[in-house]
Amino acid sequence: MIKLDNVTLSFGDQQLFERLSVEVPAGGRLLISGESGSGKTTLLRMLLGFVLPDRGMVYVDGEQLQVDNVWRLRRKMAYVSQEMQIGKGRVESFIKEIFRFKNNRRIEYRRDKVIALLEDFQLGSGTLDKDLEDLSGGELQRVAIIVTLLLNRQIYLLDEVTSALDQQLKEMIVNYFTNLDDKTLIISSHDKIWHDQGFPTIHLGNNGSST
Amino acid sequence: MEAAPDISILRLLAAFGLLIVPLALSFFLRLGFVRQLFISAGRMTGQLFLMGILLVYLFRWDNPWLNVAWVIVMMFFACFSAMVNSKLSFRHFFLPVFLAYFVGTGLILLFFNKVIVNYENIFTARLVVVVGGMLLGNSLNSTIIGISHYYEAIRKENKRYLYLLSLGANQQEALLPFFREALRAAMRPFIANMATMGIVSLPGMMTGQMLGGADPETAIKYQIAIVLAIFTALTISVALSIFFTSNRAFDDYGILKGSLFRR
C-alpha cells in the first residue's frame, strides 16, 4: 500500500501540495494528471524519499517513510522518468554493474532474459553493444524500463514514460504494464492513452490539488 | 657551468616593455583587459619580489620548523584560491580540501626529499620550500577541476544519481561513477601533458636549474622526478578531497545538500 497522508509541500513561495491525501492498495493503479509544474514528478520523488514533505506523512508498502527505512523501501520501487540520465559506457556493462550492487547480487544476470525483454520493447539485441550516449531518448527510456523489470520491483513509478514515444510504442508499453496484475503502478502522464485505461486519477492543480 | 648573470633593474624594465604589445591589442580591439592587465602584472611583480625577500631569509635561517610552517601557509593559499575559482562553499569545503592537500602533498614531499633526493636534512629550505611550492602550484589546478567536476556532475546529472539509488545502489555505489569521472577529468590533462614534455615545452624547474648553473643531466633527472611527484600528489589530493567532503555533502536520505554551492 502507498499512502500520502495530509501532505503539504512548498518550494519558496510556490505551494505545490496542500493537505494532499491519497491511497493506493497493493497491486492498485493511480494516474496523476496535471500541467507541467503542478508537482507530478515531485510527488513521485516524494515516494522515493528524494523530496521530503513539509508536513504530513508518506507510507510505502504500509510503512511510514523515514530515515531508517528509506534505503530499504526504495528497493521495492522502480522509478523511470521522461528524460533519463543513465550514464556513460556500453549498455550491457551498465546493466551488469547494476547487478553487481550489493543489494542486487542475489538476482542472477541472465543475458537471454535481457535480450527477450529488449525484443519485447522493440529494441534489438544489438542494443547491448551500443554506447548509452548514442541511444535516443526513447531508447534510453526503454532500457531504463527493462532494467527495472529485471530487478523485479513491486511498485512502478512511471513519470511521463510514454510522452516521447510514437503511438505504437505507447500502446505496447501501456499494454505491458497494465498486464502486470500484481504490481502497483503509479503513473504520471499527459497521454490520453493512460487516461483511457480508467485508472483512479488525481488531478494536481496550480493551487493545491484535488482528487 | 656558470650561473646565469643577474638582470639589472633597468633591463628588467625592458621585460615590462614587452607588455606594450598585449596592451595595445587590448586597447585598440577593446578587449577590456587594460585595467586587469595592469593589476595582474603589478600583483605578480609585487608578490614575487616579496617572495624573493622571504626566500632570502628562509634560506639564511634555514630553520626546519619555519620551512614547514611556510609550506603550510602556501597550502592555505592554494586551498583558498582553489575555493575562489570553484562554485563550492568555503564553509563546507575549506577544511577538508586543506587536509587533502596537507596529506597528499605532504606525503609526496617527504618521499621526494627522503627517498628520491636523500638529502641529509630533508627539512632544509631548498627542498621543503622550493619543492613544496612546485608540488602545490602544479597540483592546484587539477584539484579544482576534480572536486568541482564531482559536485557539479552530481548536481547536473541528479537524475542519474537518483536513478542509481532507485535501482538499489547504496550511496557509495551510486557515487562511484561520478568519482571515476572526476578523477579522469583531473588526471587526463596532466597525462596528456607528460607525453609532450621535452618536445613541446621545457618545464620550468629544469629551465631554472640550468640557468642557475646546474648540469643539464642533473636538471633532467630532477625534472623527471618532480613531474612524477606532482602527478601522484595531485591524484592523492583530488581523491582525498572528494573522500573527505563526500560524507558530509549528503543528507541522511542521500540527497546532495544545496548549501554546498555558493550563490
Look at residues A193, A203, A152, A190 and name the one whose alpha carbon lies nearest to residue A169.
Answer: A193
Lateral strand order in the sheet of A201-204: A77-81, A155-159, A184-188, A29-34, A201-204, A209-210
Q: Name the E strands within chain A.
A: 2-11, 14-24, 29-34, 55-60, 63-64, 77-81, 155-159, 184-188, 201-204, 209-210
* CA pair distance A17, A15, nearest whole angstrom: 6
pLDDT band at A175, cuts 50/70/90? very high
Output the nine-digit C-alpha cell for A134.
548514442
Q: How many CA atoms lie within 13 A of B226 on its CB side?
A: 24
**Apex B118 CA angle, B114 and B120, nearest 5:** 100
Element (H, E) at A12: none
Element (H, E) at B192: helix B171-196
- Measuring CA to CA, how many Å separate B158 from each of A188, B162, B182? 20, 6, 15
Q: What is the DSSP code string of A159-211?
A: ESTTTTS-HHHHHHHHHHHHT-TTSEEEEE---HHHHTTT--EEEE-SSSEE-
pLDDT above 90 for A11: no
CA A36 to chain centre: 17
* Contact between chains at A74 and B169 (C-beta distance less than 8 A): no
Of B158, B168, B177, the CB nearest to A103: B168
User: Residue A151: its chain B contacts at CB < 8 A?
Assistant: 167-168
Output the nine-digit C-alpha cell for B263.
550563490
* Contact between chains at A85 and B168 (C-beta distance less than 8 A): no
In contact, A36 and A204? CB cutoff 8 Å:
no
Does residue B54 or residue B144 have the better pLDDT? B54
The ipTM value here is 0.89
Q: How many CA atoms lie within 13 A of B138 on its CB side?
A: 24
Q: Give the model confidence (pLDDT) of A148-168 as tens digits.
A: 999 989 999 999 988 878 898
* The pLDDT of residue A206: 57
How many other C-beta atoms can be found within 10 angstroms of the C-beta atom of residue B46?
10
* The pLDDT of residue A14: 82
Q: Chain B residues within 8 A (CB-CB) of chain A?
A: 157-160, 162-170, 173, 177, 181, 252-255
pLDDT above 90 for B225: yes
DSSP structure class, residue A130? S
pLDDT above 50 for A208: no
SS3 track for B54-92:
HHHHHHHHCCHHHHHHHHHHHHHHHHHHHHHCCCECHHH
Assigned CATH class of B63-260: mainly alpha
Of B170, B181, B252, the CB nearest to A103: B170
Q: Is residue A11 less than 8 Å (CB to CB) from chain B?
A: no
With cell 639564511, the residue in question is B60
Q: Give the model confidence (pLDDT) of A79-136 as tens digits.
A: 998 877 888 889 999 999 999 999 998 888 999 999 999 999 999 889 999 999 999 8
pLDDT band at A37, cuts 50/70/90? confident
Fold of A1-76+155-167+184-211: Rossmann fold (3.40.50)
* The pLDDT of residue B206: 80
DSSP structure class, residue B197? B
* Contact between chains at B166 and A74 (C-beta distance less than 8 A): yes
* Contact between chains at B163 and A83 (C-beta distance less than 8 A): no
Q: Hey, where are the domains in chain B?
A: 1-61, 63-260
Output the nine-digit C-alpha cell for B28.
585598440
pLDDT band at A47, cuts 50/70/90? very high
With cell 562553499, the residue in question is B89
In the A/B pair of chains, how many CB contacts fall below 8 A? Answer: 64
* The pLDDT of residue B263: 67
pLDDT above 70 for B10: yes
* The pLDDT of residue B86: 79
A208 backbone φψ class: left, alpha, beta (φ>0; ψ -120 to 50) = left
Q: Give the model confidence (pLDDT) of A62-73 as tens digits.
A: 999 999 999 999
Which residues 139-168 in chain A show a CB within 8 A of chain B?
144, 147-148, 151
* CA pair distance B30, B21, nearest whole angstrom: 14
pLDDT above 60 for B63: yes
Q: Hey, where are the domains in chain A?
A: 1-76+155-167+184-211, 83-153
Burial environment of residue A173 by CB neighbours within 10 A (0 to 12, 13 to 18, 19 or more): buried
